[in-house]
Structures are given as structure tokens and as C-alpha cells.
Amino acid sequence: MNYGEFGGQYVPQELKGKLNTIEKEFKKAKKDKEFIKMYEYYLKQYVGRPSPLYYAENLTKYVGGAKIYLKREDLNHTGAHKINNSLGQALLAKRMGKTHIIAETGAGQHGVATATVCSLLKMKCTIFMGEEDIKRQYVNVEKMKLLGADVKSVTRGKGTLKEAVDEAFEYLLKHQDAFYLIGSAVGPSPYPEMVKFFQMIIGKEARKQIIKQEGTLPKAIIACVGGGSNSIGLFSGFLKDDVEIYGVEGAGLGIYTGKHASAIANNTIGILHGMKTYIMMDENKQVKDAYSISAGLDYPGIGPEHAYLKKIGRVKYDSVTDKEAVEAFKLLTKLEGIIPALESSHAISYAMKIAKKYNNEDSIIVNLSGRGDKDLKTILTM
């Protein structure tokens, strides 16, 4: 797919052949009716799709302005949107004759989803996770182990998502039999295209559901952005419509402090994990450490399609601080009885700000990308 100057395959030559083979098989698979039928079967019968589009009436009344709808990806099996992509890529790997899946994870949701589908499909599973994220997401680590995955602690650097991706790519170079199941819409081609394809179900469902429930399209849609898989999944259903689109990164302690995870705010283009995109770099052109209270947003780059959408002005990217996200986490829990992931709480917080721009006949959609039981330890120790 063409992302203008962004994307590409900035990887060692020995990896290019493997990536091109994956791309070739992916193009065949997405046109194969039997493959799509199998994927859709598992989405319905195993994942539990379609996920509801829920009118958050109490939150709407509290905020004022547009009706706030939540796309309930937290109700999927394993508790997040991640399984849509993990399932699709694992089925592709099995189709290719692969028996060993490797993956990276930050918040642990992609790791759990990958371990889950590997258990289902009887495939060996190795998960790379930064030691800092292992501390933050202990429950998800134990889930992965119970599901049969080998969880590798990554101790170098800051010990978060970036380092986990680095380690996974290095492992892939040494183990050509493995299939790297990337969890976000990042990395060298064809990964951003594949992840989008397997997450497009979010946008397709949401568009159909809002028209059925409201009789018209929403005024705006909002999703959090780390690498960008849940957001590109939702955005894909509305890019051609007259709908405002907002991507929300982690502002951490505040953009001005430098302790944040907003690649867009940094406004610097470079190479990261095999792709050209906006990344956080210092004055020496070295990748800076990202920071966010949310492990899933703690990434110093952004997917190439997001970079392209920012450059052409189709999507507005902004950020929300840790403090604002925690407040939204607690508020949604209290008002609606729904405990959101800290990642999703960034989008909830931003939706509360923009809802007031519209009147009470309008609607907006927030992608509730995951549930927050994994984040309770973080919340309770604050």
C-alpha cells in the first residue's frame, strides 16, 4: 500500500526474502474465500464478534453535547482488539506451514491474544516482553504462561515495548523457521497492511451499527494510538466519509516535560523497526525513550499509515496526559460500570473534551480497545 514517503522495508537483506514471501502469501490468502470463511468463523464463534456499539448514556449526560458511543472491543475473547489480528496472522502462518510463532507485547494484550490462538491452533509460541512491562502487567504474563507460551524478559534499554520489538526481530534473523506475528500496525511492509486488514472488522462493524442505531454517520470517531492497530481498524471504516477523525497518543507527564509517548508531537521523521515514520529522536538523531502510564502506548514511533494520514491532514492527532487518562478510567468505571484499559482511557478522555463541540442530536464513537483489569495494580498503587 502507498503511504507516500512513509513505510517501506528498511531491514537486513536476509529478512527481505522472508517478508516478500509473507506478502505474497498474504495477498493470496485475502482473496481466498475459504481462508476468509475460516477467519470469519473464528471471529464469530471464538472471538465473539460482532462487538456491541454501546450508547454510554450516563457518560453522555455527565459530559453534555454529542451522544458518546463505545465500540466494545473489551468484550472480545482475551479482552481487547488484539485477537482480531493475532487470529488472522496465525491462520496465515499455519497456511504457510509454520509451526513456531514469535511476538512482542507491551501491555500484554497482544501477548495473551497470540498465546491464545497458538494454543487453539497447536503452534509453539514465544513472547518477548520488556522487564518493566512484565512488572506492570504481571497478570497477563501469568496468563501467557498458562496458555503455554514461553515469555522472554527483555532487560536491555528501558525494558519496554521498543526493546521487545528489537529482540523479536533479532530472534527472527537467527531463526528463519519462525513467523513473527507483529501486534500493531508498524514494522516493515507487509506488516502494517496485514494488521490493518485483520483489524478492519472494527470499522466495518461500527459504521454499520451507528447507521442502524442513529440513522446517520457520527460526527467524529476517536481512538488511542500507540503503534496504531485499534485506531487504524476503526478509522478504516470512515476514511472516505465526512467524519472527523482523532488519534490520541500518550502525553505522559506532559509534552513539555519530554516524558511522553507522542511521536507526532516530536514531528521528526526517521527509521524505526524497518519502517520510515514519525519517531521520537533526540538532537543526535537517536531514538528517545517513550514514556506513558499505559504500557500499550509506550512506543517511540507510530505506524506509517498514521504518519501519512497526519501528513495529508485527514486525521487530527493529539495527546492526553497520564493524569487525564486515569481520571477518565475512574469516571467511566463509576458512571457506566465499564472498566477500560488505560490505553482506551486516553481516547475516553479526549472524547469527553470534543463531545461538547457538538449538539445533543449528534453522535461520536470511541474505540474502547480493551478492558482494564490488567491495569488495576497501576491504578491502585497511585
Q: How many helices and strands in the chain, by DSSP H and E? A: 15, 12
Dihedral over alpha carbons 147, 344, 322, 348 (to 10 degrees): -160
Identify which of 29, 62, 28, 127 has the alpha carbon closest to the alpha carbon of residue 331: 62
Say which amino acid occupies 101. Answer: I
Q: Which three three-digit cell numbers place residue 86?
A: 493475532
Q: From the candidates 67, 71, 82, 288, which is the catalytic residue?
A: 82
Q: From the candidates 51, 189, 229, 369, which is the catalytic residue?
A: 369
Tell how strand 220-224 and strand 275-278 pair up.
Answer: unpaired
What whole-number distance in Å separates Cα of residue 162 and Cα of residue 264?
17
Q: What is the largest CA-CA distance in the chain?
A: 57
Report how far Cα 190 is from the mean position of its chain's Cα atoms: 16
What whole-number distance in Å separates Cα of residue 361 and Cα of residue 206?
18
What distances in angstroms separate CA 356 from CA 259, 324, 350, one per listed residue? 29, 17, 11
From the number of C-beta atoms within 10 Å of its C-beta (0-12, 13-18, 19+), residue 8 rates as middle
Tell how strand 316-321 and strand 244-252 pair up.
Answer: parallel
Question: 140 and 97 in contact (C-beta within 8 Å)?
Answer: no
Q: From the candidates 51, 71, 73, 104, which is the catalytic residue?
A: 104
SS3 category, 47: helix
To the query of whether residue 104 is one of the catalytic residues in this protein, the response is yes
Q: Which three three-digit cell numbers place residue 218?
A: 457520527
Question: 274 and 168 in contact (C-beta within 8 Å)?
Answer: no
To the query of whether residue 82 is one of the catalytic residues in this protein, the response is yes
Backbone angles phi, psi at 266, to 5 degrees: -65, -30
Q: Which residues are catalytic?
A: 82, 104, 369
